[in-house]
């Protein structure tokens, strides 16, 4: 992607300008970010997705002034009538199930892939919404069908109501108000309060981003470091020894030598070359628990190759990461794999430069359903 190219998606800003001026700083309203936008997922298709076991969905209703929340899956009869006001169906991760929605997500890859999360579709009947709230992450709100009225504000008081099953602000203080029509888009930075109400039937696409908490990230990395340390010690574990230990009158006191042994064990684990980088890349590309892949055809001849829409692929200076696995890479093959991660596809001409080892690896990914033979890139 040319990050210096002005985009209608960003109201004429280049991606570089948007990231400097707005990302995590201030909202941006773009009229006709995608001109003549036609939603790639029809209402009936969205309802069908909400009925599937492997799809996360929620139903939010405002009934006689009381908020209600239910979790899916929902068959059609479990949803309110279309004419009934004040209800919203939320379906997460639609990009994992629809090629056109996945393609739409690719327009936002001027933000690092490590931060991009998923696309949620919100279907609402007249008056539907989820109440005034804030998100802990950046979000683009693209109006796909109908109209939605948004009120937004820089909320100082982030206290939530404790009498309802939703995270609704106790004292919402809106500062601006907009009505979005199909193709319009609103960007909001983290913790920017907003409340969207459907004016008639409407659908809104929310492009959300990952923002791991520091404690969560530390926990995940320590688990992976522990697995690596276990592999390193396999066959000849180094045991704690205390040949110089004296008799003690206070047996419950932990020996200082054991503290030092534990500190050294952790330091050694962290000192392993590239261990932290590898653990981070594997964590960032790990598919969500609900994601599974259809095995491909074994032994097919590669022409071009395209990543499956569910695959997460990234890289750093030393590694290639895909779906929670890591590979050391260098030279021409590393350049090729990085291009696959960035572009999500390689042409037959590009594959002609790959080594036999790289082709064998790509073939195994196709067998696993992580990638597919692509005949459109000759």
Q: What is the DSSP letter of 344?
A: S
- Tens digits of residue pLDDT in 218-251: 999 988 888 877 666 666 778 999 999 999 999 9
Predicted confidence at residue 147, as pLDDT, reads 98
pLDDT (tens digit per residue) in 33-51: 999 999 999 999 999 999 9
Q: pLDDT per residue over 311-362, tens digit each?
A: 999 999 999 999 999 999 889 999 999 999 999 999 999 999 999 999 999 9
Residue 181's pLDDT is: 98
Confidence of residue 266 (pLDDT cuts 50, 70, 90): confident
List the structure tokens of 89.
Answer: 């169906």
Q: Which residues are within 8 A (CB) of 204 and not within 5 positions of it... i.e. 6 or more apart? A: 121, 122, 124, 141, 142, 143, 144, 148, 180, 196
Angstrom distance (rounded) from CA 350 to CA 322: 19
pLDDT of residue 237: 79
Residue 94 corresponds to which tokens in the numbers above?
């639609």
pLDDT tens per residue across span 191-216? 999 999 999 999 999 999 999 899 99
- The predicted model gives 4-20 an average pLDDT of 98
Mean per-residue pLDDT of the chain: 93
Closest among 126, 131, 52 to 91, alpha carbons compared: 52
Residue spans of beta strands (DSSP E) within the chain: 28-30, 57-63, 66-71, 87-91, 116-124, 139-153, 176-180, 185-188, 193-209, 304-307, 313-315, 319-322, 325-328, 345-346, 371-374
What share of the chain in percent tops pLDDT 70? 96
For residue range 120-169, what is the model confidence (pLDDT) as tens digits?
999 999 999 999 999 999 999 999 999 999 999 999 999 999 999 999 99
Element (H, E) at 231: helix 214-233
Give the pLDDT confidence score for residue 270 in this predicted structure. 82
pLDDT at 230: 66
pLDDT at 378: 59
> What pLDDT is attached to residue 358?
94
Alpha-carbon span 187 to 205, nearest angstrom: 12
Tell me the sheet residues that pair with 133: 194
Q: Is the pLDDT of residue 377 over 60?
A: no
Query: DSSP letters along 118-179, please?
Result: EEEEEEE-TT----SB--SS-EEEEEEEEEEEEEEE--S---B-SSSSS--BSS----EEEE
- In tens, the pLDDT along 49-107 reads 999 999 999 999 999 989 999 999 999 999 999 999 999 999 999 999 999 999 999 99
- In angstroms, the CA 361 to CA 351 distance is 12
Q: Kindly report the backbone phi and psi dihedral angles of residue 9, in degrees, each rounded to the nearest multiple of 5, phi listed first.
A: -55, -30
Q: Is the dihedral of CA 49, 50, 56, 62 positive or negative?
A: positive
Query: Structural domains in the chain?
Result: 8-209 (2.60.120.650), 214-225+264-378 (3.40.366.30)
CB atoms within 10 A of CB 87: 23
Prediction pTM value: 0.91
Instruction: Please give the DSSP secondary-structure letter assigned to residue 106.
Output: G
pLDDT at 265: 85
| Rg of the chain over all Cα atoms, to the nearest angstrom | 25
Q: H or E segment at 359?
A: helix 356-368
CA distance 167 to 160: 6
313 closest CA partner among 341, 282, 277: 341
């Amino acid at each position: 992607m040319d990050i210096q190219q002005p985009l209608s998606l960003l109201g004429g800003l280049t991606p570089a300008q948007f990231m400097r001026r707005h990302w995590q700083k201030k909202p941006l309203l773009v009229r006709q970010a995608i001109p003549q936008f036609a939603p790639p997922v029809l209402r009936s298709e969205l309802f069908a997705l909400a009925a599937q076991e492997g799809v996360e969905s929620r139903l939010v209703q405002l009934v006689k002034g009381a908020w209600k929340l239910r979790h899916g899956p929902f068959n059609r009869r479990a949803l309110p009538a279309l004419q009934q006001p004040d209800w919203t169906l939320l379906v997460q991760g639609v990009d994992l199930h629809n090629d056109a929605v996945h393609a739409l997500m690719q327009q936002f890859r001027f933000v690092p892939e490590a931060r991009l999360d998923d696309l949620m579709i919100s279907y609402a009947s007249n008056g539907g919404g989820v109440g005034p709230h804030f998100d802990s992450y950046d979000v683009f709100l693209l109006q796909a069908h109908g109209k939605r009225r948004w009120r937004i504000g820089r909320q100082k008081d982030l206290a939530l109501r404790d009498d309802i099953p939703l995270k609704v602000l106790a004292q919402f203080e809106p500062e601006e108000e907009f009505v979005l029509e199909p193709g319009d888009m609103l960007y909001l930075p983290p913790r920017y309060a907003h409340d969207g109400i459907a004016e008639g039937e409407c659908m809104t696409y929310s492009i959300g981003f990952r923002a791991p908490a520091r404690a969560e990230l530390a926990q995940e990395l320590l688990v992976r470091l522990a697995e690596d340390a276990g592999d390193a010690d396999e066959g000849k574990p180094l045991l704690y020894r205390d040949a110089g230990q004296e008799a003690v009158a206070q047996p419950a006191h932990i020996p200082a030598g054991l503290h030092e042994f534990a500190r050294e064990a952790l330091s050694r684990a962290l000192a392993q070359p590239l261990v932290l980088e590898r653990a981070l890349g594997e964590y960032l590309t790990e598919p969500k628990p609900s994601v599974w892949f259809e095995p491909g055809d074994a032994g097919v001849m590669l022409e071009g190759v395209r990543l499956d829409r569910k695959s997460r692929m990234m890289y750093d200076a030393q590694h290639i990461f895909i779906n929670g696995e890591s590979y050391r890479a260098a030279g021409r093959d590393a350049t090729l794999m990085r291009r696959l991660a960035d572009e999500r596809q390689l042409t037959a001409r590009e594959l002609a430069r790959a080594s036999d080892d790289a082709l064998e690896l790509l073939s195994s990914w196709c067998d696993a359903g992580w990638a597919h033979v692509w005949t459109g890139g000759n």
